Amino acid sequence: MGALIVYFSLEGNTKWAVERIAAEIRADKLQLIPKEAYPDKGFGKFFWGGKSAVMKEAPKLQPYQVDLTKYDQIILATPVWAGTFAPPLRTFIMSEKLTGKRFGLVACSGGGSPAKAFAGMKELLGIKEDVPELGLVSPKEKPDAGNDAAIAEFCSRLSVEN
């Protein structure tokens, strides 16, 4: 059995983290792409993305192919929007049978805490136990050796639970 990283990335920060984690643990990746793209610039980016997150919307996604029976570990990676996780992850979690899987959670923010995003994903997944979590601040835009150390530590926690 293996690991799958399911992610949404608007500006590339989450994708940056996913690429490094996938290389470290040899995980497959599944990028979620909404059928209707979110604005990626200006006021619209914050308004529509934030509204969608706060209202707990579940946008329609572009079709994807994944055999979840091949994976015992699912890592969910998201940008932090309005203090919570991005809506495409909500669609995935609500659409797929994820029982019996082990999880890891990754959130990239512009500076705020990812705690609410992690709590929201755990609630939607129906898990109460601790899972490995990794929060990064704009890792693509603000390179920092601390990011590499945090990713390595996160990956080691995933490995311990394998």
69 burial type by CB count under 10 A (0-12 exposed, 13-18 middle, 19+ buried): exposed
The first and second tokens of residue 77, run together, are 């990676």
Specify the pairing of strand 71-81 against strand 28-31. unpaired
Q: What is the widest separation between alpha-carbon atoms in the chain?
A: 43
The first and second tokens of residue 142, run together, are 């603000």
Distance CA 35, CA 130 (A): 33
pTM flag (> 0.85): yes
2-160 has which CATH code?
Answer: 3.40.50.360
- Per-residue pLDDT tens, the chain, 162 aa: give them: 799 999 999 889 999 999 999 999 999 999 999 988 765 766 555 645 555 665 677 679 899 999 999 999 999 999 998 888 999 999 999 999 998 999 999 999 988 889 999 999 999 999 988 999 999 999 888 888 899 999 999 999 996 554
AA identity, residue 79 = P
